Structure 1
Amino acid sequence: MSSGFGEKLVIAISSRALFNLDESHQVYINNGLEAYAKYQIEHEDEVLLPGDAFPMVKKLLRLNERLGGEPRVEVILLSRNSADTGLRVFNSIQHYGLTISRAAFSGGTSPYRYASAFGCHLFLSTEPDDVRQALDHGMAAATLIASKAQVENEEELRFAFDGDAVLFSDEAEQVYKLQGLSAFTESEKASAKEPLSGGPFKQFLFALHRLQAEFGENCPIRTALVTARSAPAHERVIRTLRAWNIRIDESLFLGGLAKGAFLKAYGADVFFDDQKMHCESAREHVSTWHVPHGIANRT
């Protein structure tokens, strides 16, 4: 963690996740980089519409107002734009009053490497390759799955996480994928008192937990574990979180049921899962992010 940010929660986000850049991206796809740059400069005074991650970012930055004092949340823009073509993005940030002041414009190359330099706990992007590179270098990262879900709760920020290969390592999931459900169940029963290793989102969960503690009883941040596990495989998960000294507000052990309806009932603002089929179920109801990590994502 970069010493310049102290104990802040630091999140990096791509410009295409924060704003709707579909129209200009289509110019790039159809006509190339030069036409794209010309288009962005010609339209740099036109405000971009919010993207899928905009509501979450707005809520995150609002946490600083609630705590007062020094800001405790930092959002950093990472973009494949150049600074020249990225001016429209910063103009839109100013228009919406978002307190985002730090950015890296990488001029067509992957900006993921700057997430680590900024000391980020999480990198969110629409570019799967950037996300995979960040995960390969030990950073929590996820790819946006387009969704039309609407945020209903303006007062709370609700995160939901899958367990294996997201919060935890994929060691148990490997048993399931390679040997089947019976072997997985027996393995988890035998290892019930042995904490799972941490997955890519462990440190992000720790950072969220620290931030929650600063609010005390009236915390506007809630967390949920939403897993396909069921009894008796639940015990190892509970004991792992206990060993980490981490509090999860809600835990849903669904035994293979589709997650979408449960995420809607929970009121999740954002959900992270390593498996595409769970993401497809979730995207109808909540902002969904794919974590391309673990055995389920190996080709």
Structure 2
Amino acid sequence: MPVRLGDKLVVAISSRALFDLDDSHQVYEQEGLEAYRQYQIAREDTPLEPGEAFGLVQKLLRINSMLEGDSRVEVVLLSRNSADTGLRVFNSIQHYGLGITRAAFAGGRSPFQYIPAFGTQLFLSTHAEDVRSTLEAGFAAATILPSNQPREMRDELRIAFDGDAVLFSDESEQVFQRDGLEAFQASELASARDPLGGGPFKAFLAALNRIQTEFAAGECPIRTALFTARSAPAHERVIRTLREWDIRLDESLFLGGMDKSEFLRAFGADLFFDDQEGHCRSAVGVVPTGHVPHGISNRLLKP
């Protein structure tokens, strides 16, 4: 019988999000594919340095060891490398003891088409177009931004989400963009008991929440938080929506337009997801950040 990943939390990650491949990529950009190939082969026994999402992957995979052999998290490598140039990546995975055994090497093309086959709930990449294609196909995805932040050594995995266009649909953000803050507040107050539609990260949060329920109170290695620019009275619809979905967030911050960065620093996020580039530029100075190019704010940015 073929192996199926079933109800596992499946996270796909690109090689450049997992490891620091900046030097290698510079060789590719300046000297071409064959020089890049030779560069990687000559160094295939030299482990790559951790990339922006390395700590997140370590903490995700650690969850399996805490569930007494019940593997609930699968991390899959999706790479534009060929298997030939990707050997250094797999050797680095083995060097760091990461439990990653499955991979797709797409030989220079986008690997996003393999996301449905793996049953992926989240794709992390440094390649913006691959991320956009994944979101358009209906899967959660984010572009990992370079931050060079010191990595938190804490064992607990902390993930932070923006609300509209990330956890929720962008229906409310459309009202705000079109008609302004006052109209947005009035619309949310009138619709307070109408659940919001799900955004691209709803399924990922639900999968995290299912794993959280498998741990006793006080022992869960995952902590989640919502960081939203909303404030009262627009808070009620968010709370009622999560209740309708039967999804729990550990923390919810309604910031009323305040800058999120210091709050994210206080939370200690291992990764923060936001759809707005301005919020991401502010956040990446304090925590690892993934831009979610989805919703009305990103459509307005297109030329």
TM-score by length of 2: 0.97
Q: Secondary structure at the match of 2:289?
A: strand
CA offset at residue 285 of structure 1?
1.0
Q: Secondary structure at the match of 1:76?
A: strand
- 1:236 maps to which residue? 237
- 2:298 maps to which residue? 297
Q: Deviations over 1:172-206 (max 9, x none)?
A: 00000111111101100110010000000000011
Q: Tell me, in whole angstroms, the C-alpha distance in 1 between the residues paired with 2:149 and 2:238.
A: 29
- 1:213 maps to which residue? 213
- 1:181 maps to which residue? 181
Q: Tell me, in whole angstroms, the C-alpha distance in 1 between the residues paired with 2:70 and 2:152.
A: 29
Q: Tell me, in whole angstroms, the C-alpha distance in 2 between the residues paired with 1:21 and 1:285.
A: 22
The aligned length equals: 298
Name the amino acid aligned to 2:264: L
- 1:271 maps to which residue? 272
Name the amino acid aligned to 1:71: S
Which runs of 4 or more aligned residues in structure 1 lie more than 4 Å from their structure 2 counterparts after TM superposition?
none
Q: Tell me, in whole angstroms, the C-alpha distance in 2 between the residues paired with 1:76 and 1:131.
A: 15
- 2:141 maps to which residue? 141
TM-score by length of 1: 0.98
CA offset at residue 115 of structure 1?
1.4
Asked if 1:32 corresponds to 2:1, the answer is no
Q: Secondary structure at the match of 2:104?
A: strand
Q: Tell me, in whole angstroms, the C-alpha distance in 1 between the residues paired with 2:152 and 2:119.
A: 31
Q: Secondary structure at the match of 1:5?
A: coil
CA offset at residue 7 of structure 1?
1.4
Name the amino acid aligned to 2:97: G
Following superposition of structure 1 onto structure 2, how do residues 66-215 of structure 1 map, counting pairs within 5 Å? 66-215=66-215
Q: Secondary structure at the match of 2:214?
A: helix
Q: Tell me, in whole angstroms, the C-alpha distance in 1 between the residues paired with 2:110 and 2:152.
A: 34
Q: Tell me, in whole angstroms, the C-alpha distance in 2 between the residues paired with 1:214 and 1:35.
A: 48
- 2:252 maps to which residue? 251
Q: Tell me, in whole angstroms, the C-alpha distance in 2 between the residues paired with 1:258 and 1:275.
A: 12
Q: Secondary structure at the match of 2:215?
A: helix
Q: Secondary structure at the match of 1:20?
A: coil
CA offset at residue 151 of structure 1?
3.1
Question: Bigger shift: 278-287 or 146-155?
Answer: 146-155
Name the amino acid aligned to 1:145: L
Q: Tell me, in whole angstroms, the C-alpha distance in 1 between the residues paired with 2:215 and 2:115.
A: 27
Name the amino acid aligned to 1:237: V
Q: Tell me, in whole angstroms, the C-alpha distance in 2 between the residues paired with 1:34 and 1:155.
A: 40
Q: Deviations over 1:119-156 (max 9, x none)?
A: 01000000000000000000000001111222335221
Structure 1: runs of 5+ lacking an equivalent: none
Contact 1:153 1:267 in 2 (8 A): no
Q: Tell me, in whole angstroms, the C-alpha distance in 2 between the residues paired with 1:155 and 1:185.
A: 39
Structure 2: runs of 5+ lacking an equivalent: none
Q: Tell me, in whole angstroms, the C-alpha distance in 2 between the residues paired with 1:216 and 1:189.
A: 36
The CA RMSD measured in Å over matched residues stands at 1.1
CA offset at residue 6 of structure 1?
1.6
Q: Tell me, in whole angstroms, the C-alpha distance in 1 between the residues paired with 2:274 and 2:214.
A: 27
- 1:63 maps to which residue? 63
- 1:46 maps to which residue? 46
Q: Deviations over 1:227-279 (max 9, x none)?
A: 00011100000000000011110000001111110001011111000001111
Q: Tell me, in whole angstroms, the C-alpha distance in 2 between the residues paired with 1:189 and 1:145.
A: 35
> Identity over aligned residues, as a percent?
67
Name the amino acid aligned to 2:27: V
